[in-house]
Amino acid sequence: MRRVLLVGDYPPPFGGLSVQVAALRRRLAARGDSTVQVLDIGARRRETRPDCLPVTGGLDFVGKVRAHARDGFTIHLHTNGHNPKSWVVALVCAAAGLRHGRRTLISLGSGRMAQFVAEASTPVRAIARATVRAAGAVIVRNAVARAAAIGLGATPDKVRILPGFYGVAAADVGVVPFEAVRFRRGHRPLIGAIASRGPEYGVTLLVDAAARVRARHPELGLVLIGPEPMEHGCPVWALELGERDRPALLAVMRTLDVFVRPTYFDGDASSVREAQALGVRVVASNTDFRPEGVTVFKAGDADGLAEAIETSLGQDPVRSDSTSLPVLLDLYDALPLDGARRLDPAPPVDHARRLGRAIPHGDAVPHGDALPLGRAIPRRGVAPEGPPEDRSGRAPLGDGWSEDRRGAPPATGPAAAPPPEGNRVTAAAPPPEGNRVAERDRAAEGDRVA
């Protein structure tokens, strides 16, 4: 049984890495050959929720990662790689996996990772170098990020380019919200996008381009799904649905004529691959990587985006599924270290064979270490001969002798022959009983006189 601990943001909020972690958890849990748990390090990490484990602080995080690594879980971290905290978390996960016999898998999902690493301070780069060297595998989204990871010291065979997309099943698609159904009745064609927080996601750019396309398609409508409302309000031909869970998002996405990804940078957006898997046309900015079948435009160019939307509307939609789950499962199964501690108990060591001598049947043999030569092997239930064990609790000195044993340690070479009879000193015999009585009487007489 495969055991995996996914570490990363867990929804809500929905978007980015949290959606990838949740989708991967569902895929692994449904397989039947994997046990999967999620350690949430996102915005709601302190809350106790049914599908993930909470994290109350830094020490709690370290303790839970180490405990799962010790129990044989493969640690799979999902992080962006474009800030110092991301690399500190990655180093903790990599070290925990290495310490307990299984290397960690680290997915770096941000399109800004390569630039951040190139401009990072010396201490942060040192942490990043130690992380990629300790990890068992590093997953990145494009060739630029791969070159950055190799530049940090990762071996080329360790760094894989894989999308954070694990397929779309029919059961993943939910019900279209009523507002979207009503909006679609009066707007055709319908385009949409994920409205994530931050200007780098290009929502304002999309509204500008959609307004230009409306000159040729006056009934065009725009649907924005996500937590980020438009700063200066939304035009009447646009609908802000707000944040929705993944089933509702996929249901709305399937009703679109064109899905747009207008970001200024990207790794490999899973929403683009989700739209393709649903058979929806996709227009996206020309960041470091886009999958085959996407109509691209120059990032930040509203005219170019409007033209790409117009071009895409004239093309037939194509359905394609580019899940990375089979390759990811192979990576999980290949991660244990050679010669690392296995989950199954190790077979007992044949100490007799190692020592080159026979051990009588029934003798107790300590497990894991060779027996010291030149010692008798006590039988079970029989106390060993010799002086009793020292339980004084005193700290041993360098030669193993405790503080109250200040005589010379025993010779370590061959035993010396006993001295001749005449040279040996014998203890003086006790005085006769009569002499001892007389001595007591004289002492008592002196006390009375005094």
Same domain, 73 and 210: no
Longest dimension (CA), the chain: 137
Question: What pLDDT score does 435 carry?
Answer: 52
* 198/144 Cα distance (integer angstroms): 23
Q: Within a domain: residue 436?
A: no
Residue 321 or residue 94, greater confidence: 94
* 80/338 Cα distance (integer angstroms): 29
**Strands (DSSP E) along 136-280, which ranges?**
137-140, 159-161, 190-194, 221-225, 238-242, 258-261
Question: What pLDDT score does 103 carry?
Answer: 87
Write the pLDDT tens digit of every residue in 150-190: 999 999 999 999 999 999 989 999 999 999 999 999 999 99
- Angle subtended at Cα 201 by Cα 314 and Cα 237, rounded to the nearest 5 degrees: 55
Given pLDDT bands bounded at 50, 70 and 90, which one contains residue 381? Answer: very low
Question: What pLDDT score does 265 carry?
Answer: 84
What's the domain count of the chain? 2
Question: What pLDDT score does 416 carry?
Answer: 47
- With tokens 């005193």, the residue in question is 394
Same domain, 174 and 264: yes
When pLDDT is averaged across residues 378-401 and rounded to a whole number, the result is 42
- With tokens 């990662």, the residue in question is 65
Q: Within a domain: residue 413?
A: no
**Residue of 309, 227, 303, 214 lying closest to 261 (CA atoms):** 309
Residue 327's identity, in one-letter code, is: V
Q: Within a domain: residue 420?
A: no
Same domain, 46 and 161: yes
Same domain, 193 and 139: no
Question: What pLDDT score does 287 carry?
Answer: 87
Helices vs strands, H then E, count in the chain: 14, 12
Q: Within a domain: residue 387?
A: no
- With tokens 């001892």, the residue in question is 436
Same domain, 220 and 238: yes
Beta-bridge partner residues of 38: 6
Same domain, 14 and 161: yes
Tell me the two tokens of residue 243. Answer: 């944040």
Phi/psi of residue 120, nearest 5 degrees: -70, 160
pTM to 2 decimal places:
0.70
Same domain, 148 and 14: yes
Q: Within a domain: residue 390?
A: no
User: Contact 242/226 with Cβ under 8 angstroms?
Assistant: yes
243 burial level (CB within 10 Å; 0-12, 13-18, 19+):
middle
Residue 78's identity, in one-letter code, is: H
Same domain, 160 and 174: no
User: Contact 267/145 with Cβ under 8 angstroms?
Assistant: yes
In the predicted model, is pLDDT for residue 302 greater than 80? yes
Q: Within a domain: residue 284?
A: yes
Give residue 121's domain range. 2-166+328-334
Same domain, 111 and 176: no
